[in-house]
Chains A and B, each alone.
Chain A
Amino acid sequence: MFSRGYKTVVTVPPLAWVAVFLLVPYLLMFCYSFWSVSSSQTIVHSWNLNNYQELLAKPVYWETLLRSMWIAARVMLFSLLLGYPLAYLLSFYAGVRKDLLYQMVIIPLWVSYLVRAYAWKTILGADGVLNTSLQYLHLTSHPMDFLLYSPFAVVLTLTHIYTPFTFLPIYAALEHIPRNLIEASHDLGASPSQTFWKVIFPLSIPGVLAGATFAFVLSLGDFLAPLLLGGPSGIMISNVVVSLFGAAYNWPLGAAISLCMLVIVVSLLFFSEKLEKKWSFS
């Protein structure tokens, strides 16, 4: 029913825009990662693998990458531990309060990222809200100064930011489970915990995978929370990239690290999508 002309008009402009502003930039990043910087700080357009060799040779790079993945993995785990039971409660027990509670989970999602990271900074600092409250209540005599500027602060803040993100797909998956399957499980004599582990949980796995991937991927690339709350021990791989694009002025090396991140992220998305398909029953 739609003519060739109609299809061309709706297809070509977005295709052209996306090619110029997404495809070309990502390809440029790919090219940059094989270039180098001369001593006079200009980009040398000769192709080589030096940047990648440097990444492998210098432990600081891959150690930071591993540390970032470890931070991201903890954020993912805590977001799941916080998000799953909440989604389960909302989906199965919330009754008429479901809508209200659901809105209450997504509202923090829309509070500025920066503002929430900043709020944690004011809570965790040596003279912050937490320490001064504890001292006021005479629970501690000295401020705990290990809370802020640590990987702990980064994990806590990112967990706060990504828990609602993790909650959403799990909740959607739980909501889509046909309720008669659960009734059938009860009718056939399964206990509530058997019903949960044998019926509900397996059917919610696609949601868990989507939420987990989201939390992991977005935490892995974060650089603002580490800058604000991480201190020297909380530096993540994106901070290294930021400094390579700034003061250290080595765009090609920065591009090589970014490309490694891109490959990790895209392959995670790919596998997660495959697994989600495998576990979805519809």
Chain B
Amino acid sequence: MELLMTGSAANPSGPRWLLAHAALVFGFLYLPIAVLILYSFNGQGVGGFPPQNLTLDWYRTLFGDGAIWDSVLNSLWVAFAAMAISLTFGIPAALALDRSQFPGKALFRRLVLLPLILPGIITGLSLLMLFNLDMVATVLKWITGQRLSLLTITLGHGTALISVATTEIFAGLQKLDRAQEEASLDLGASYWQTFWRVTVPNLKLPIIGAALLIFTLSMDEIAVSFFLIGRDNTLPLEIWGRLRRGITPEINAVSTIIFIFSLVTIVFWYRLRVRSEGAAEVGTELIEPAEDEA
């Protein structure tokens, strides 16, 4: 490292070029976010330079906008329910991949992870086909009165995000010291007791991390929801509907609030992860699927 630095000090154009490039990339990444926030205060609407008549009117409009808040409540409902589904099935799925051998295990692992890497449209449409089967549609109508509703969106999110729960918790299991569980079992605790008193407390950070990730991803999800929507909108779909009708800074205002909200969640999640495994690993679980055979 030191040698590399001296090596490049002899050739300072390398790092200088890299610095300029990095400044450009960060500019590119943050320009839209800055514009978005700035114009949420612009009295003249979206666009027009320089921004004029800075005002909080759009936030006032937003707070009086019943449809937006209904959709926020819907999104929260979906996100919490999806989190429950993903964790209920993701935790055992990770345990199964870690400790159980069964036919089709490799296929199962790939299948679980598929929604993370597949374009949302494929997952969304294939679920739409499932919910359109006569038998399934009858059950759905019996439960909610409609074929497509927040329930179908929840099932979609819950299923697609099992992938996140499984990868996060599988990574946690890889680092878990099995001797603790073994000791618990040897000392006469049942599997159930061992699970709740030894396994889960040891997996606290991965579980909280997975829950936060699932929550944020579900709140923002649109490609799958797009096909499974019934009468009630989630927040991204409500925004989408409005974008199609024309744009006002009210959308900037709600986006700014979402941004601040996600920022807080991310920083919280990041702190948590750094505490458990160091900065370099954070975020990579989204890219690198867990390798149980490796």
Beta-carbon nearest neighbor of B262 in chain A:
A110
19 further A-B contacts with Cβ under 8 Å, apart from A121-B247, A265-B118, are A10-B92, A18-B93, A29-B126, A32-B129, A103-B267, A106-B266, A112-B236, A114-B222, A119-B255, A123-B31, A128-B47, A129-B39, A133-B49, A133-B50, A160-B32, A182-B4, A192-B14, A217-B117, A254-B125
Beta-carbon nearest neighbor of A83 in chain B:
B25
- Interface flags, B120-149, vs A, CB<8A=1, else 0: 111101111110010000000000000000
In the complex the two chains form, what is the Cα distance from A2 to B181 in whole Å? 10
A202 within 8 A of B: no
A120 in contact with B32 (CB, 8 Å): yes
B96 in contact with A25 (CB, 8 Å): no
Q: A129-B39, A165-B287 are in contact. Are A175 and B280 (CB under 8 A)?
A: yes
A28 in contact with B126 (CB, 8 Å): yes
In the complex the two chains form, what is the Cα distance from A195 to B178 in whole Å? 42
**Top-8 shortest CB links A-B:** A221-B119, A25-B126, A119-B32, A14-B93, A132-B49, A7-B100, A133-B49, A10-B92
CB distance from A239 to the nearest CB of B (A): 10
B200 within 8 A of A: no
Q: A107-B263, A129-B39, A182-B4 are in contact. Are A222 and B119 (CB under 8 A)?
A: yes
B77 within 8 A of A: no
In the complex the two chains form, what is the Cα distance from A221 to B281 in whole Å? 28
List 26 interface pairs A-B (beta carbons < 8 Å), by A numbering. Answer: A5-B191, A7-B102, A11-B102, A14-B90, A14-B92, A15-B96, A22-B111, A25-B127, A86-B25, A92-B4, A101-B22, A102-B282, A108-B29, A114-B236, A118-B251, A119-B33, A122-B46, A133-B50, A136-B49, A168-B287, A195-B7, A214-B287, A217-B118, A217-B119, A220-B119, A221-B118
B18 in contact with A85 (CB, 8 Å): yes
A22 in contact with B159 (CB, 8 Å): yes
Beta-carbon nearest neighbor of A245 in chain B:
B125
Residues of B within 8 A of A107 (CB): 263, 266
B33 in contact with A242 (CB, 8 Å): no
B112 within 8 A of A: yes
A160 in contact with B50 (CB, 8 Å): no
Q: Could you count the A-B residue pairs with CB atoms below 8 Å apart for me: how many are there?
A: 286
Q: A1-B185, A169-B288 are in contact. Are A255 and B129 (CB under 8 A)?
A: yes
Chain B, interface residues (CB within 8 Å), range: 35 or more
Beta-carbon nearest neighbor of B112 in chain A:
A18
Beta-carbon nearest neighbor of A4 in chain B:
B100
A28 in contact with B220 (CB, 8 Å): no
B258 in contact with A118 (CB, 8 Å): no
A262 within 8 A of B: yes
CB distance from A124 to the nearest CB of B (A): 10
In residues 1-35 of chain A, which contact B (Cβ within 8 Å)? 1-3, 5-7, 9-11, 13-15, 17-18, 20-26, 28-29, 32
Contact of A25 among B3, B21, B129 (CB under 8 A): B129
Beta-carbon nearest neighbor of B259 in chain A:
A111
Chain A, interface residues (CB within 8 Å), range: 35 or more
Contact of B243 among A86, A125, A228 (CB under 8 A): A228
In residues 176-205 of chain B, which contact A (Cβ within 8 Å)? 178, 181-182, 185, 191
CB distance from A34 to the nearest CB of B (A): 13
Residues of B within 8 A of A125 (CB): 47
Residues of A within 8 A of B118 (CB): 217, 221, 262, 265
A172 in contact with B95 (CB, 8 Å): no
A261 in contact with B185 (CB, 8 Å): no
Residues of A within 8 A of B11 (CB): 192
- Interface flags, A231-271, vs B, CB<8A=1, else 0: 00000001001100100000100110010011001000100
Contact of A251 among B1, B47, B99, B129 (CB under 8 A): B129
A37 within 8 A of B: no
Q: A123-B35, A169-B284, A245-B125 are in contact. Are A110 and B266 (CB under 8 A)?
A: yes
Contact of B287 among A89, A90, A108, A172 (CB under 8 A): A172
B114 within 8 A of A: yes
Beta-carbon nearest neighbor of B99 in chain A:
A2
A88 within 8 A of B: yes
Residues of B within 8 A of A261 (CB): 119, 122
A112 in contact with B220 (CB, 8 Å): yes
CB distance from B173 to the nearest CB of A (A): 11
A36 within 8 A of B: no
Residues of A within 8 A of B240 (CB): 114, 224
Contact of B159 among A21, A135, A136 (CB under 8 A): A21
A164 in contact with B29 (CB, 8 Å): yes
- Interface flags, B234-269, vs A, CB<8A=1, else 0: 001001100100010001100100110011011100
In the complex the two chains form, what is the Cα distance from A23 to B123 in whole Å? 10
Residues of A within 8 A of B133 (CB): 28
A1 in contact with B159 (CB, 8 Å): no
B63 within 8 A of A: no
